[in-house]
Chains A and B, each alone.
Chain A
Amino acid sequence: MIKNSVTWKIGGEAGYGIMSSGLIFGKTCLRSGYFVVDTNEYPSLIRGGHNTYIVRAAREEIFSIVKPVDILIALNKNAIDYHKDELSQDSHVIFDTDRISKEDTKVLKKSKLYPIPLISLAKESGGQEIMANTVALGATIALLDGDFEILSDVIADVFGTSKKEIIDINIAVARAGFNYVKKNFPGKISYSLEKQKNKRDLMFLSGSEAVALGAVRAGCKFFAAYPMTPINPIINYFAKNGPDLGIVYKQPEDEISAINMAIGASFAGVRSMTATSGGGFSLMAEGYGMAGMTETPLVIIEGQRPGPATGLPTWGGQADLKFVLHAAQDEFPRIILAPGDPEECFWLTAEAFDLAEKYQTTALVLIDKHLGESRYWSPIIDSSGYKIDRGFLMSEADQQKDYKRYELTKSGISPRPIPGREGFTFRVNSDEHSEYGFSEESAENRVAQMEKRMRKLELCQKEIPDPKVYGDKNAKIIFVGWGSSKGSILEAQKILAEQKIATKFLHLTYMNPLPQKFLEKFFGAIKKEKVLMVEQNYTAQCAALIREKIGYEIKDKFLKYDGRPFYPEEIVEKVKAL
């Protein structure tokens, strides 16, 4: 019987083309009609470290990778030694006999082995040693009864900017692997990538790419960001496509400059964004507060990775929630959103631009390495009904009258002009200021301006949507999670449902302001149900936030801080131990 899902992993030294192989294989699975998720693991090195790429493809909707590996591509001995214990009961290992001896594979007791001279095949078909990975891709497609034409189309697309000869050689090399398996290992296995029709029209993209697309859709015109894992894919997207899209990406000298440039562009009247990880955001903290004080709209993408300091630079986590809730001195309205999948990355990034302009403050989108750099199947996003909301941005005609930049209004929001137009001048001021923006230190003025700024957050709270709850509404087991761990929890729910264990899952995406009324009702209704907080940090930051704001204490917590994403199996085990 053909199994519903297959997990494929390729492992080898950095520089072996692991990342491009993963992308090609994932796209091939998607175009073959499957639901696909992928993830990669790499150390903070350019060459020599061990890289892996995992792709999971299934006939039904899946939300995360799972632990057992069904098909392993071992490009070197390390790939066998490191991953031998991850193999499933029914596993198949393709290994390169040019680098790995029979002796090396003795540890693989339960797997079916496919010794293939990957490097020799690459060379014999006109390629080079570094194309062993592409030979392995062809071999995989043959093993899984897949359609070679789909693979060759994907290779041509992924190497699209290369010379035609390069593309042709890669296809020939893949073909050699395909033919080798068809000839030497005929017969079907219990996993398949046979071409099928998927009823849904899908894309395959990472959280970072979805963030970039959401920003484009929302009319972002200026983006300043200093390179840092894991937000580099966003930079790459804008650096490459900016000229075509009419968006300026500026590489600044440091993160302090990045946030100040983004603020300057927003002040001048365009939708503007910066992005960084926790370390860079530490440098941005003062600018974060300045955007709040000057009431300049600003979108910030914060891609979390484990710290403190340099920490685990190429791994993931959710330990910056409390940091972004409090970063910068004193208080100002900090809007914080946390998407859980690429579709949410797209929409919440677009929403961040609207909220930032509407409330004239910061809107920060928290992602992490795992969400940012892993790819997921996603429906084609229909944004035809989306309308940009620029809030109280003044028209040219409005700017002719007398004007107070920080006029005390009931909502706390003052009309915002654009500098350079005819009519009045105005100033914004990081000093406490009068309604006109002049420096002003009287106690009365301070209180009035402080309350004006904070009123905006109260208004925002009334307008944010309720969070989503997934699963069985009568379930006795309740998961609480936020942001990027969504996929793992949804997948755990699926496994539990198959075992007749009903669960529901409250997924938070608006972290500040919180959907207060909804949460009070939700937690107020809990009686004997078991509630499990699932988050990737040491101190259960979201659980603490819920306790602070809602007054409900979540006692059971599944916390992880090893830099690796939650595996659904781990969550299942935790539920069973409750």
Chain B
Amino acid sequence: MLDPNKFGTNEEITWCKGCGNFGIFVALKNAFDKLGWKPNDVLLTYGIGCHGHMVNYLNAFGFEGLHGRALPVATGAKLANHKLNVISIVGDGDQLGEGGNHFLHACRRNTDITCIIHDNQVYGLTVGQSSPTSAIGFKSRTAPTGTVEEPINPVSLALAAGAPFVAQGFSGDIKQLTDLFVEAIKHKGFSLVNVFQPCVTFNYLNTYKWFYERVYRLEDTSYTPNDKVVAFQKALELETKLPTGIIYKTEKPLFEESLPQIKEKPLIDQPIDNIDIERLFSEFR
């Protein structure tokens, strides 16, 4: 490794001691380093939630936007300059609750963006409400007698919506997570990494211990991530065991490739001075 610390800033980190965010943050910096990037090789868009504070800690181009809306901002930026490496840092409530619609459409649109969900099964920044991924029975401030609704499975949702790269990681396994981020970023097309992470303050159920008892690495098995039906079966394996690794991977045409207007160069590099407008008037005569 060269120097992952170059991706850090001097801002004081305010995440709780032991927060799963740290593992994701470290793995992300490692991945950038492994890819041979400099801080100005990547643009990140962030949602709102504890994860979003990363905008202050990560030295790269950053856009801290609205709750749930990181993917549309990323899409606009990518289409304006498809040479940019674009990553969306999002949360479970942020992306699967508020931004659920954007998630579905980003999966099926297939722009070359990587989406990293910080999935801690709870709302942290608003101090402890149920999230779309909270387990049935999970007690929270909004569900004092236990969560009733079926939790969203981000991986099977992404598969159903057509995402060409779907992976699952765990913030407690930085080595594997680093590799998953590298693979996801390198994959041509929309890539999802759903990262399980404990919230040490508000999630009493999904603790480090709880995760360590369940997670296992797919690369230690004979699993190959090239069959969508098998991938669905793997994605549904969430009761007693939690698979981590690449769940599904396929090649699909990029949305960007459908645009002849950016084939030669990105929109950002196309001159806008002296546009010949007169030729467009003839249609209105």
Same complex origin of A and B: yes
Q: Which residues of A contact B (CB under 8 A)?
A: 27, 30-31, 202-205, 209, 213, 216-219, 221-222, 224, 241-243, 245-248, 250, 252-254, 256-258, 260-272, 286-287, 290, 294, 380-381, 383, 388, 418-431, 437-439
Query: A287, B66: Cβ atoms under 8 Å?
Result: yes
Q: Does B26 contact A (CB under 8 A)?
A: no
Tell whether A217 pairs with B62 under 8 Å between CB atoms, given A243-B260, A264-B75, A418-B268. no
Q: Within 8 Å of chain A (Cβ to Cβ): is B64?
A: yes
Q: A268-B84, A423-B40 are in contact. Are A262 and B76 (CB under 8 A)?
A: yes
B267: which A residues are within 8 A, CB to CB? 221-222, 246, 248, 265, 270
**Beyond A253-B105, A264-B75, A268-B81: 19 further Cβ-contacts under 8 Å?**
A30-B285, A203-B281, A218-B272, A222-B80, A243-B260, A243-B261, A245-B261, A246-B267, A248-B79, A248-B262, A250-B79, A252-B72, A257-B72, A262-B76, A267-B76, A269-B268, A388-B272, A418-B268, A425-B60
List B residues 80-134 near A (Cβ within 8 Å): 80-81, 83-84, 101-102, 104-105
Q: What is the interface residue range for chain B against chain A?
A: 35 or more
Contact present for B43 and A420 (CB under 8 Å): yes
Residues in A neighbouring B104, C-beta threshold 8 A:
253
Contact of A221 with B272 at beta-carbon distance under 8 Å, contacts A243-B260, A419-B61, A420-B43 already known: yes
Closest beta carbon of chain A to B239's beta carbon, Å? 32
Q: How far is the CA of A45 from the CA of B267 in the complex (A)?
A: 38
| Assembly CA distance A257 to B69 (angstroms) | 7
**With A209-B284, A262-B76, A427-B62 known to touch, is A256 a contact of B261 (CB < 8 Å)?**
no
A231-B39 Cα distance, complex, nearest whole Å: 41
Q: Which residue of A lies closest to B73 (CB)?
A: A264
Q: Please name all residues of chain A whose beta carbon is closer than 8 Å to the beta carbon of B65 when the two chains form the complex.
A: 260, 263, 290, 294, 430
* Known A-B contacts A423-B40, A438-B56; A272 and B63 likewise in contact (beta carbons under 8 Å): no
Q: Give the most central of A27, A242, A271, A428: most B CB within 10 Å.
A: A428
User: Quick one: given A203-B284, A420-B40, are A217 and B275 in contact (CB under 8 Å)?
Assistant: yes
Q: Is the CB of B277 within 8 A of A427?
A: no
A266 and B270 alpha carbons, distance in the complex (Å): 14
Question: CB-CB < 8 A to A217: which residues of B?
Answer: 275, 277
Distance A425 CA – B44 CA, assembled complex (angstroms): 11
Any A CB within 8 A of the CB of B259: yes
- Nearest residue in A to B265 (C-beta to C-beta)? A246
Residues of chain B with a CB closer than 8 A to A418's CB: 268
**Cβ B64 vs Cβ A419 within 8 A:** no
Distance of A245 Cα from B275 Cα, bound (Å): 9
B270-A265 in contact (CB<8A): no
Chain B residue numbers with a CB within 8 Å of A261 are 72-73, 75-76, 79
Instruction: Kindly state the separation between the CA atoms of A243 and B56 in the bound complex, as whole angstroms.
Output: 38
Write the chain A residue with the least CB distance to B67: A286
Which A residue's beta carbon lies closest to that of B48?
A: A430
A-chain residues with CB within 8 Å of residue B55 when the two chains form the complex: 427, 429, 439
The docked-state distance in angstroms from the alpha carbon of A290 to that of B79 is 20
B59 nearest in chain A by CB position:
A425
Q: B29-78: which residues lie under 8 A (CB-CB) from chain A?
A: 39-40, 43, 45, 48, 53, 55-56, 59-66, 69, 72-78
Does B229 interact with chain A (Cβ within 8 Å)? no
List residues of chain B with CB within 8 A of the CB of A425.
39-40, 59-62
**Distance of B126 from chain A, by nearest CB (Å):** 15
Question: Would you call B280 an interface residue if the criterion is a C-beta within 8 Å of the partner chain's C-beta atoms?
Answer: yes
Q: Give the distance in Å from the alpha carbon of A460 to the alpha carbon of B66 in the complex.
A: 27
- CB neighbours of B262 from chain A (8 A): 248
Q: Does B11 contact A (CB under 8 A)?
A: yes
C-alpha spacing A557/B180, complex, angstroms: 66
Residues of A within 8 A of B43 (CB): 268, 419-420
How near does chain B come to A74, taking the closest CB pair, in angstroms?
Answer: 29
The 6 sampled A-B contact pairs (Cβ below 8 Å) are A261-B73, A262-B76, A266-B76, A287-B66, A427-B56, A427-B61
**Residues of chain B within 8 A of A438, CB atoms compared:** 9, 11, 56
- Assess the B273–A268 pair: CB atoms within 8 A: no
Please report the C-alpha to C-alpha distance between residue A209 and residue B102 in the assembled complex, in whole angstroms: 30
A254 to B71, CA, bound (A): 13
Write out the residue numbers on chain B whose beta carbons fall within 8 Å of the beta carbon of A222.
76, 79-80, 267
- A260-B73 in contact (CB<8A): yes
Known: A265-B76, A420-B83. A242 touches B261 (CB 8 A): yes
A133 to B189, CA, bound (A): 49
Query: A430 and B66 in contact (CB under 8 A), knowing A380-B281, A418-B268, A419-B77?
Result: yes
With A and B bound together, what is the CA distance between A442 and B69 in angstroms? 26
* B residues in contact with A426, CB < 8 Å: 61-62
Question: Across the interface, do A269 and B60 meet the contact criterion of CB distance under 8 Å?
Answer: no
Does A248 lie within 8 Å of B61, measured CB to CB? Answer: no
CB distance from A184 to the nearest CB of B (A): 33
CB distance from B26 to the nearest CB of A (A): 19
Contact of B84 with A419 in the complex, beta carbons under 8 Å: yes
Contacts of A241 in B (CB 8 A): 280
Q: How far is the CA of A287 from the CA of B66 in the complex (A)?
A: 8
Contact B73 A263 (CB under 8 A): yes
- Please give, as numbers and ranges, the residues of chain B lying within 8 Å of A213 by CB-CB distance: 277, 280-281
| Minimum C-beta distance from B179 to chain A (A) | 25
CB of A428 within 8 A of CB of B64, answer yes
Which chain A positions have C-beta within 8 A of B53?
A: 439
Contacts of A264 in B (CB 8 A): 45, 63, 72-78, 80
Complex-state Cα separation, A431 to B56, whole angstroms: 11
Indicate if the CB atoms of B40 and A422 lie closer than 8 Å: yes
Hey, which chain B residues are within 8 Å of A247, CB to CB? 261
> With a CB–CB cut-off of 8 A, which chain A residues contact B268?
221, 268-270, 418, 420
